[in-house]
Structure 1
């Protein structure tokens, strides 16, 4: 009991935390997080990018790194999805779909973000049989959700993932970014005052007020250590270079206009083509269960299904930009059949590895990237959702 009281005291929590109190604490923490994200979209984007880079660095670097890399990568995508939702609500961005359809699209996006980690985790916990059970369950759920979007909500050609990350530069209104800038105006003024303080302090000590320092080799100008403000008020900008623009970046053309375009109605051959794309995973898994992984029949059947789906779409001139981009992505994904068994095992594997090793030995510095890639390639090729989840 004493240990329990001591541990709770260190955590700053009461000795007995009721469910209601725990819920209130979580809501309070989430509210603080929501306010931070909605007030700092630029800092949030930087943190998200840094988090994602960690997953690329981990992959193939040490034993059993694939699970950790996929966990970090899946978590980073989910964090981006959560932050986008917070920013959409804070900026009052409107969507052209109903709430129920939006929920289905969100659930489908979450499945596509976590499917690789779920497959690898199932293989680690329950072996090969558990892995294929999880694969089948996820694909059944995705087919059901895409079928609802296609037939019930008439969503047309659905992208992968259905909810793409928010373009923070283009999609957030200037008024919203200006409000975020206004909240920080007092801090910016304090920073300017601090710069003057550092200069005055240096003058009083009889030193040259060197606020910036230029590297002898790189030629890059950075803030000197004598002019470093407190940690809570630091930024990446040099003294006197702070911008009054809302975001500090040049605005690009907004993509929300394209995202809110109504889907092109599908009928006849196009509806059949989209249905083929939706049900293709079940066709492949069924034929794989009957014929086995070494058979060419599942590979050929899936390839013919994808090609037929694209052919049935016909001329794409009347489709909107996002639908054209999705069909272009599906066409490029056909190249993945080179990396899919049994074609990869019998024809492509030796040639790809030979090319990568030749590249690593001839181009200086590339080996630091190619060697881990070669080591990770077998694990990547064996993972179903890397190759077949597209």
Structure 2
């Protein structure tokens, strides 16, 4: 999510409150995107079965719970809304009411996020909370144009024994495309089913119990503990930084133990969706280099030296300028590196 903000780097430093304007643009585009996605999903439901896009494991799983539980739906959209707007709200409150009000807001937002994730955890019958908690955009709007422009001829046939509707081979070959083996291979590969494609949506993520359940709850409350520690010891103290990374590492160790001992086949046999989520959590450790005393003592001097060394070099100086523009945000805006 944070990387998308680079889209608006051109606004930074161009006028007063450029950072606030760029963040407002980021939040607005993402919220509009949520509404647009809901329109695409409803439109795709009217397509012929053979034309409907095959959902990914993530979308299959999250849409299942959204359709099953209104509580899950509300909690997931509330969490997504906060993730899209937390930086914007922090900027606005800090500008209007100062740092004390900002930290009250941060604590409130992190508390609500924890509540939302705990609700999602129990609504999914104690399964790992995947991120994002809502379906991703996977529907290409061009499929609707293809539907409108398709020929009026018979594009499907019905099996005599199974009575299942299938595409004619001619329906997958564009009239302007030379017939070749690649077309057939691409079409057949798109129809291949893997083990996860035939699993029930709820089976795409294992239920947690014992140490696995404790690990997930520990991971969920970690950001709130970090905020309380920051307010008690300050941003320059190593205690909040060490406490936060210790909790995340402890949760990871507990997860590894759970999958090794409690899941048949161990970590190698968990679903792709679970692997993606745990890889994402590992990548989020990189944000620790932008936090607290580690940033002050190690990361910031390195960034300053790099920017200084490339200041007179073409192209590289542009990249250095972008880093310079973003430094105040990393240093002063909590949610830029919060990974929550």
TM-score (norm 2): 0.71
Does the C-alpha gap of structure 1 residues 62 and 143 become closer, same or farther in structure 2, counting only changes over 3 Å? same
Asked if residue 279 in structure 1 is aligned to residue 221 in structure 2, the reply is yes
Deviation by residue 1:197-249 (Cα, 9 ceiling, x = unmatched): xxxxxxxxxxxxxxxxxxxxxxxxxxxxxxxxxxxxxxxxxxxx9979xxxxx
Which structure carries more relative contact order (alpha carbon 8 Å, separation 6+)? 2
Q: How far apart are the structure 2 equivalents of 1:242 and 1:67?
A: 50
1:336 to 287, 291, 316: 287
Q: 1:297 to 1:319 in 2, by over 3 A?
A: same
Note the alpha carbon deviations across 1:348-387, whole angstroms, 9 max, x for none. Answer: 211122124334544x323223213213212233211111
Say yes or no: does 1:355 pair with 2:306. Answer: yes
Correspondence for 2:254 among 312, 325, 329? 312
Query: Which runs of 5 or more structure 1 residues have no equivalent in the other structure?
Result: 1-50, 187-240, 245-249
Task: Give 1:292 shift.
Answer: 2.2
Please state how far the C-alpha of 1:52 moved relative to its aligned partner. 7.7
C-alpha deviation, 1:317, in angstroms: 2.3
Q: 5+ unaligned residues in a row in structure 2: which ranges?
A: 46-54, 152-173, 178-185, 261-266
Asked if the contact 1:60/1:372 (under 8 Å) is kept, the reply is no
Shift in alpha-carbon separation, 1:96–1:164, aligned structure 2, 3 A: closer
Q: Which residue number corresponds to residue 327 of structure 1?
A: 278
Residue 131 of structure 2 aligns to a residue whose secondary structure is coil
Aligned counterpart for 2:330 among listed residues 377, 380, 384: 380
Structure 2 residue aligned with 1:96: 64
Deviation at residue 185 of structure 1 after TM alignment: 7.8
Q: 1:377 to 1:182 in 2, by over 3 A?
A: same
Structure 2 partner of 1:86 = 39
C-alpha spacing 1:253/1:139, structure 2 compared with 1 (3 Å): farther
| Structure with max Cα Rg | 1
**Length, aligned pairs only:** 274
Match of 1:75 in 2: 28
**Residue 128 of structure 2 is aligned to residue 134 of structure 1:** no
Secondary structure at the aligned position of 1:357 is classed as: helix
Residue 208 of structure 2 is matched in structure 1 by: 266
Among candidates 57, 62, 71, match of residue 10 of structure 2: 57
CA drift of 1:154 comes to 2.2
SS of the aligned residue for 1:146 comes to: helix
**Residues 94-147 of structure 1, C-alpha deviations (whole Å, 9 max, x = no match):** 732114112321221111111111111111111111211111111111100101
Deviation at 1:53, TM superposition (A): 7.6
Q: 1:346 to 1:183 in 2, by over 3 A?
A: same
Structural RMSD (CA): 3.2
- Shift of the alpha carbon at 1:66? 0.8
1:125 aligns with 2:96: yes
Structure 1 residues 115 and 164, CA gap change in structure 2 (3 angstroms): farther
State the distance in 2 between where 1:271 and 1:109 align. Answer: 23
2:59 pairs with 1:106: no
- CA distance 1:345–1:264, shift in 2 (3 Å): same
Contact 2:291 2:337 in 1 (8 A): yes
The residue aligned with 1:148 is: 119
Distance 2:323 2:200 in 1: 35
- For 2:91 and 2:190, the matched residues in 1 are separated by 39
SS of the residue 1:165 aligns to: coil
C-alpha change, 1:143 and 1:342, in structure 2 (3 Å) is: same
In 2, distance between residues paired with 1:345 and 1:242?
Answer: 61
